[in-house]
Amino acid sequence: MVQRTITVYTDDLSGVAGEDVATHTFSVDGVSYEVDLGPDNYQNLLDALGPFMGAGRKTGSSRRPAKRPKAGSDAGKIRAWAQSQGIEVGPRGRIPADVVEKYEAAQ
């Protein structure tokens, strides 16, 4: 039996799925947040935070942005490869960026 896993990215605010939905991170009072947004809602976020970012000071990046598998990569293949390498990866959810990078480097 063959099992195929399909990952659908959905805007956390609107609930609309799409290829253009991306993960964005931001921090407030030392707490980091991650949200998946389509282009319109991402622009709304930037518009809302814009005045504060303009008046604030950059303190550096807390971490690298989330990385998704390249188009055409199959999450199921990445998970199977990771398990064969002894790397723990959950059966569902996002695959850590470092695992995706290792998989892509091995290909």
pLDDT (tens digit, 9 = 90+) per residue, 19-37? Answer: 899 999 988 888 899 999 9
Which structural domain range is residue 92 located in?
A: 67-107
Together in a domain, 75 and 104: yes
User: Does the pLDDT at position 70 exceed 80?
Assistant: no
Q: What is the mean pLDDT of residues 43-68?
A: 80
pLDDT of residue 61: 63
Together in a domain, 28 and 43: yes
Together in a domain, 53 and 23: yes
Domain membership flag for residue 12: yes
As to burial, measured by CB atoms within 10 angstroms (0-12 exposed, 13-18 middle, 19+ buried), residue 73 is middle
Q: Do residues 80 and 48 make contact, with C-beta atoms less than 8 angstroms apart?
A: no
What angle (nearest 5°) sits at the alpha carbon of residue 47, between those of residues 23 and 22? 15
Q: What is the mean pLDDT of residues 66-92?
A: 78
